């Protein structure tokens, strides 16, 4: 595989498992030095760092809660201290919430907005301050913003905010050659997606796609890798629905 990200430094939030882990692995495979952010899964994050190192890549892991601005600042400081610059930011860290509107508490609301929106917003702020010109910001949203499913009100509200933030920042950072895009996965076969679902339910989700299956983390990572590359220099302010034709 062509090392088209050779010499680039990428920071991936929420990178210890699932889609985030696949993104970190793919960016490293494409030649980038990768900073893996995690909030709790230290062993999983370190295992990915070790795998990247065994493949002659460069990576290290940093624990940080992206719902706290001081920890975001520490995460970016660690990135610059370790690798000297930042070229690519992937805001993947996020939490789901599937619950009827009448059951959502203020604590639930503050928690999901703290991680999904506040975390993305202030990570973008740090990138705007510290990223090299010509950099790439890729925010993870969800194809649920394009559907009408019950019980996802708080979650889709956070992802709708991420999509609008992406559009605005593309215009704001465009003069520096920094592109800002969103990737919106559909149903993707991860540990998090599987929680509370039977195999039959998962299969039904897969059948919603035009391509007839659930997405894989690697499918989403491939789209992120494209947007992170020089080949995507003319794509900005867009929301790529990587969902196999689900919506």
Q: Which residues in 155-190 are b (16+ Cβ under 10 Å) and which e?
A: bbbbbebbbebbbebbeebeeeebbbbbbbbbbbbb
The Cα 172–Cα 183 span in angstroms is: 19
- Judge whether 146 and 101 are in contact, CB under 8 Å: no
H helix runs in the chain, sequence order: 18-29, 42-54, 69-83, 106-113, 119-130, 153-173, 191-194, 199-207, 217-228
Paired strand residues for 188:
215
The Cα 200–Cα 157 span in angstroms is: 28
Considering 155, 161, 180, 236, which one is annotated as catalytic? 155
The Cα 79–Cα 72 span in angstroms is: 11
DSSP sequence for 43-62: HHHHHHHHHHHHTT--EEEE
The Cα 83–Cα 75 span in angstroms is: 12
Active site residue 38: no
Q: What are phi and psi of 98, to 5 degrees?
A: -120, 105
Specify the DSSP element, H or E, that contains 181.
strand 179-183
Residues tagged active-site: 155
């Amino acid at each position: 595989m062509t090392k088209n990200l050779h010499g680039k430094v990428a920071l991936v939030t929420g990178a210890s498992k699932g889609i985030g882990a696949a993104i970190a692995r793919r960016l490293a495979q494409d030649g980038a030095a990768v900073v893996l952010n995690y909030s709790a899964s230290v062993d999983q994050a370190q295992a990915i760092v070790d795998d990247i190192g065994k493949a002659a890549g460069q990576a290290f892991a940093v624990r940080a809660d992206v719902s706290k601005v001081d920890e975001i600042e520490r995460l970016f400081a660690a990135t610059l201290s370790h690798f000297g610059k930042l070229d690519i930011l992937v805001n993947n860290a996020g939490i789901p919430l599937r619950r009827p509107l009448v059951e959502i508490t203020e604590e639930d609301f503050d928690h999901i907005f703290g991680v999904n929106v506040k975390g993305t917003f202030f990570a973008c702020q740090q990138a705007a301050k510290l990223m090299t010109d010509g950099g790439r910001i890729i925010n993870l949203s969800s194809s649920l913003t394009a559907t009408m499913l019950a019980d996802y009100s708080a979650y889709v509200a956070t992802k709708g905010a991420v999509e609008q933030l992406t559009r605005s920042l593309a215009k704001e950072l465009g003069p520096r050659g920094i592109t800002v895009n969103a990737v919106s996965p559909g149903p993707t076969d991860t540990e998090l997606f599987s929680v509370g679902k039977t195999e039959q339910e998962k299969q039904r989700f897969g059948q919603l796609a035009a391509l007839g299956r659930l997405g894989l983390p690697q499918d989403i990572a491939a789209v992120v890798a494209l947007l992170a590359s020089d080949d995507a220099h003319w794509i900005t302010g867009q929301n790529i629905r990587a969902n196999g034709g689900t919506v």
